Amino acid sequence: RIILSSGRSHICEESAMLKIGTFSKLSRLSIRMLRRYDELGLLQPVHTDPFTGYRYYREEQLTTAGRIAALRDMGFGLSAIGALLEDGGREELDRRLAEQQRALEALLAETRQRLRLLDTARAQLRKDESTMEYSVTLKNLPQRRAACVRMTLPSYEAEHQLWQVMARETAPLSLRLEEPCLCSVTYYDGEYREREVDAEAQKTVRGDYPDTEHVRFRTLPAVTFASATFRGPYDKIRAANAAVAAWVRDNGYAFDGPAFNIYHVNPSETDDPEEYVTEVCYPVKKRA
C-alpha cells in the first residue's frame, strides 16, 4: 500500500502498522488519551495520514504504551512519566520509584489517620458523645524533682523524640522513679504551632543525678491547675481543652502558665490508642 504525505511517497507494509483504533484496543488506552500523549510527545504515532488524519503506530510501541499505563497507575504525573521515558536508565527509574513509594506511604498514613478520625466522629454521633461533659478538676501538684528534656520539635506528633532522648541518655544512670511516676510534656509556645514546637518532657524521679547532654535534672515548682482526663486517642484533646476552658471561665479562674499533658497510659505501654489515658492540665489562678 502506498501512503502519500507532503507530496512524497512512503511505502509501508500494512502488517507493520496499526491504526489508532487497533492500537487503542491492544494497549487498553483510549483514543483520547493516545491523542493527548501525542500532543505531549510521550507516545507519538510513526505516521499520520495527511488526507484522512489517521494515526499509525508500530507494534513495538505497545511496550512504551504499557510503561506509560503502569507509571500512571503508580501515581506519576505525565510530566514525570515523560522524564522517566526520556532518561530510560535503570538506576534513575529505581530511584524515582522508591521516591514515589515513600510519598504514597506518607499519603497512606495520612489517609489512615483521617479514616480513624472519621470512625471516631461517627462513634461519637452514635453515642451522642459530642455533648459528653468532661469532668474538670482543680488540682495541686507539689514541688517535685524531675528529669527534663526540652527541644524544638517539628510537630506535636514528634513528642516521642523527647522520650527517646531521655531514655537513651538516662539509661546509664539507673534512675529511681517517683511513685507514682508522672510523665508529662509541657508546651511553652503561646499559641498552637504547626511546626517548631517548643516542648519539654518531664519524668519525676527520686534523688539527684548529673545532667547529661540533653537531660536536665531540676526541681519543678508547685502548681495549681485545672485538668480533664480522658481515655482514648489523642484527637480527643480538643474536646478536653474546650471543657477546661469552659470550667476556667465559669469558675472565676484565669490561665496562668504553660499547659502540660500528663500521660497516665501512653504509647510505650500499649499499642491500642483506645487504651491511652491522658490528662490535659492548665495552670490557673483566681481572677482578681
Q: How confident is the model at residue 16 (pLDDT cuts 50, 70, 90)?
A: low
pLDDT at residue 131 greater than cutoff 50? no
pLDDT at residue 8 greater than cutoff 50? no
pLDDT at residue 11 greater than cutoff 50? no
CA-CA distance, 282 to 263, in Å (whole number)? 14
User: In terms of C-beta density within 10 A (0-12 exposed, 13-18 middle, 19 or more buried), how is residue 14 classed?
Assistant: exposed
Per mean pLDDT, which range of 8-17, 124-133, 140-149 is the poorest?
A: 8-17
Could you report how far apart the first and last alpha carbons of the chain are, in Å? 99
pLDDT at residue 9 greater than cutoff 60? no
pLDDT at residue 218 greater than cutoff 80? yes
pLDDT at 130: 45
Delimit the domains of the chain by residue range: 2-88, 91-130, 136-286
Asked: is 2-88 a CATH 1.10.1660.10 domain? The reply is: yes
The structure's pTM equals 0.58
Q: Which three cell numbers stand for residue 238?
A: 480538643
Domain spanning 136-286: which CATH class is it, in words?
Answer: alpha beta
User: What does the radius of gyration of the chain's CA atoms come to, in whole angstroms?
Assistant: 32
Percent of the chain with pLDDT over 90: 50
Per mean pLDDT, which range of 121-125, 142-146, 155-159 is the poorest?
A: 121-125
pLDDT at residue 6 greater than cutoff 80? no
Q: How confident is the model at residue 200 (pLDDT cuts 50, 70, 90)?
A: very high
Residue of 126 and 81 predicted with greater confidence = 81
